[in-house]
Homo-oligomer: A and B are copies of this chain.
Amino acid sequence: MILQINVNSEKPIYTQIYESILLGIATGSLAPGDSLPSVRQLGGELGVNLHTVNKAYRLLAQDGFVVINKKKGAFIALEFPRDPQSTAGLREALTVLLAKAHLQGVSQKETLDLIQSIFNDFHRED
Contacts and interface: CB of A to CB of B under 8 A. Distances in A.
A25 B103 contact: yes
A93 B114 CA distance: 11
A52 B76 CA distance: 41
A89 to B, nearest CB: 8
B110 A101 contact: no
B86 A99 contact: no
A72 interface: no
Q: How large is the interface on A (under 10, 10 to 19, 20 to 34, 35 or more residues)?
A: 35 or more
Contacts of A100: 22, 26, 63, 86
Contacts of A99: 22-23, 25-27, 122
A90 interface: yes
25 contacts: A19-B96, A22-B100, A22-B103, A23-B95, A23-B96, A23-B99, A25-B99, A25-B103, A26-B103, A80-B103, A81-B104, A86-B100, A86-B104, A87-B110, A90-B106, A90-B111, A90-B114, A94-B97, A95-B121, A98-B115, A98-B119, A108-B119, A111-B115, A112-B112, A112-B115
Given A19-B96, A90-B111, 5 more contacts: A81-B104, A86-B100, A87-B110, A98-B119, A115-B115
